[in-house]
Each structure stands twice: as C-alpha cells, then as structure tokens.
Amino acid sequence: MAEGAEKPRNLEEYENLARKRTAQTYFQYYNYPGTAGQTSTDSIAAFKRYRFRPQLMNDVSTRKLSTTLLGKPVSLPIGVAPTAFHRWVDTNGEISTAIGASAVGSAMIQSSFSAKHVRDVRAAVPHGVLWKNIHIWKDRRITKALIKAAEEAGYDALVITVDSPMTAVDTDEFRRNYMLYNHRDMRYPLMDLGLEEQEEAKRQGDENMILYFASQYDASVTWKDIQWLKTLTSLPIVCKGILTGRAARQAVEAGANGIIVSAHGGRQLDGVPASIDALAEVVEAVRGRNVEVYMDGGIRNGTDVLKALARGAKAVFVGRPILWGLACGGAAGVEHVLTILRTELDFAMALCGCSDVNAIPSDVVVHESFYNISKSKL
C-alpha cells in the first residue's frame, strides 16, 4: 500500500484492491474456483447457514485468543494455509508472508510450490511457528528431500496433502497463461534436486519443471504411505484435505497427529462439501484420539473463525485472503489481514459471552435448521 493510503477495513476490501494491483492472469490463478465454482462459492456461503446463540451476562472483560498448535504457542487460532507462487506479487514471496504471520504470532504452512527455500524463511522468522506442506511424489527422493530440508531448517511439523492423487491443473492452460511470465517467479529450489529426469524436463523446455511436477502426482498413494513417512521423521504429521469421519479415522490410524478439514479451495474435486459443513463429522470421528483438528476454506470474517472453533476446530487456516494482503502490502499486508480477523474474532467472542478460544461452548453456534426443527415442534 502506498504511504499515506487508507488501509482496507475488511477482507472484501483487500480482495478488491488486490484485484486491481495483481496481474490479471495471476489473480485469476489465485482465485480459481474449480470447474464450476460450486464448492468454492459454497465454502463462503456455508458460514451463513450457522447461527450464534450468545451466552449473555458472562464476564468477558478479558479474552484469551492465544492457543497451542501441536504444543507450540501461537497468539491466535488463525494461521496461514499453504498456497503457491507468493513471488508473483511480492519479490520476497514466502519470506514476506512468514514475516507478516510471525508479527502477529500466527503459524504459517509453506507450500511445496514455494520460490523460497525453507532455510531462508526460517532465517527471517527464527522463532515463528512454521509447518512444511509436502506431497508424496512418484519419485520418493523428492519427498525425502523436502522432509530433510524441513527438519534441518527447524520446521515444526509436516502437512501432507492427501486429497490430490492427481492434479486438476490444466497443463495446456498453465503453459499458455503462466509459463510465459518471468521464470524466476516459478522456481522451486527445494524440489529441484538436479535429477536426470528433471534436467531432461528442462532440456525439453520445461525450465521450471511445472509440467514435470504435474506428472509427479501419484495415484497409487495410500494410508500406508503416511506410515512410511512416520519412519522417516520425528516431526508431527498433519493430513490436509479430509472431509469425512472415515478418512479422519484412517489418518489417525496411520499415525497423523493433526487433521486439516479442507476442500482444497474447491480447486480439486468440485462438488465436495464446504469445510465448515464437514467439520463436526470429522471432530466427532476422532474425539478422544489425541489428534488436533483444524479447518481451512471460506474464512472471510472473524465471525467465521468463531463458528469454526465452536464446531470443534482447534484453529483455522486462511489461504486466498493472505495472498490479497501480500499483494497489497507485502509483509505488512499479511499482518494486517490477520489483525483484522483477530479483531473481528475478539469482538464476536465478547458478544457471544466467550472469553477463551480454547473453551468455546459448542452450543454457542447452531446450524440454521435448528430453528426450523424447533418451530416444527411447536
């Protein structure tokens, strides 16, 4: 944001400003809603189907927003979800994002498709809570290298994408719309291992191996591969992309320490439920199993965060709005987006009679059908 310019007041204003400040092709990629946009649209709309039932006359003169994620303290239950290509809108890319997140005491999940090395991100935020997102690629050497780099950089957990046996990216469209731009903005230093197959991809014109990695998605991956990962690392493992109780139980049985209820922003399988709708089922399925449940998708206001916490999430992660903040103001923009959500959450907690994010009563939020059912009994 230009010096002296008025800061956006909410996430909608950030989106509108980011649309003006970001190259159209890049903004379209960030906001890609999937084939028909059903899940992406519903992920936002779904929060409006939940209603608050405030607990009145509670002492909310002081409110606690700090919590822990896998034992690491954070100042608020709102983190940064893994998203690709931060360098498209900020020269320092994920480094700026991490600095903005750390400034408010938030956690950040760094995408596999990052243009910044984990050691450089960690150096920028030596005390920040950082998790590394990885895929289980066909060439397991790449996966092993990602894990080793994350461990050496002192990252706090691994986040495994489990809902993408294939990529929904149209490689022809990607080549046409994105690979024509500055190649430096699309390099993956962590995954470029100099393997012969990778060098051959470069010789064939795939300089940054975009199409190579599109071919590396492994449709043979099973829960046994999560068990395999557990033999490689002592870092906690979080499985991202779970929407059913069955999958949640399978993740825990495979050794997961955490679960992110996520519909992948609607970018993979369009037509799956909004994360907030799937959340309660997942929470109930793993209750008492010593696993933390988080959620991403559709968060646009602090009231959305409170609804997710009441439905059983330990914390939420935010994707696209972080990119909007980064596009508008770099690290300061990321910090401000998270600060807006924190302020809105704090206000909603006070009005709902809640004083601690770690003890949000489940009955402070109900699905709108509660009132239809109640009326039918009159």
CB under 8 Å to 141, separation ≥6 — which residues? 193, 195
CB-CB neighbours of 22 under 10 Å: 21
Choice among 86, 117, 135, 264 that is catalytic: 264
State the pLDDT at residue 168.
66
Nearest in space to 283 (alpha carbons), one of 338, 244, 335: 244
Q: Quick one: DSSP state of residue 87?
A: G
List the structure tokens of 85. Answer: 């290509």
Q: Crossing angle, helix 320-351 and helix 94-103, to 10 degrees?
A: 10
What is the pTM assigned to this prediction? 0.94
The CA distance from 264 to 164, in Å, is: 9
> How many C-beta atoms surround the C-beta of residue 59 within 10 A?
7
Alpha carbon distance 179, 378 (integer Å): 62
End-to-end CA distance of the chain: 55
105 phi and psi, to 5 degrees? Answer: 75, 30
Tokens 């103001």 map to which residue?
A: 329
Tell me 99's DSSP state: H
What is the model's pLDDT at position 26? 87
Cα distance between residue 30 and residue 33, in whole Å: 9
Please name the residue that has the structure tokens 């519903």.
42
Q: Is 183 a catalytic residue?
A: no
Three-class DSSP category at 312: coil
Separation of alpha carbons 46 and 41, rounded Å: 9
Cα separation, 305 vs 280, in Å, equals 14
**Taking the chain (378 residues) in consecutive chunks of 10 residues, what is each chunk's mean pLDDT?**
76 97 89 87 96 97 98 98 93 97 98 93 98 96 95 98 81 58 65 88 81 89 97 98 98 98 88 96 97 98 98 98 98 98 98 98 95 65
Tokens of 161: 């994408």
The two tokens of residue 117 are: 């090395």
| Closest-CA residue to 101 (of 323, 299, 292, 307) | 323
C-beta separation of 154 from 122 below 8 A: yes
Task: Locate the DSSP E strands across the chain.
Answer: 50-52, 67-69, 72-74, 78-80, 107-110, 129-134, 157-161, 237-242, 258-261, 292-296, 315-318, 365-367
Domains belonging to the chain, first-starting first, are: 11-376 (3.20.20.70)
Q: How far apart are CA 60 and CA 50, in angstroms?
A: 22
Q: Which amino acid is at 270?
A: D
Amino acid at 31: N
Angstrom distance (rounded) from CA 85 to CA 110: 11
Contacts of 230 (CB under 8 A, 6+ apart): 237, 254, 255
The rounded distance, in Å, linking the Cα atoms of 162 and 237 is 12
Do 133 and 108 touch, CB atoms closer than 8 A?
no
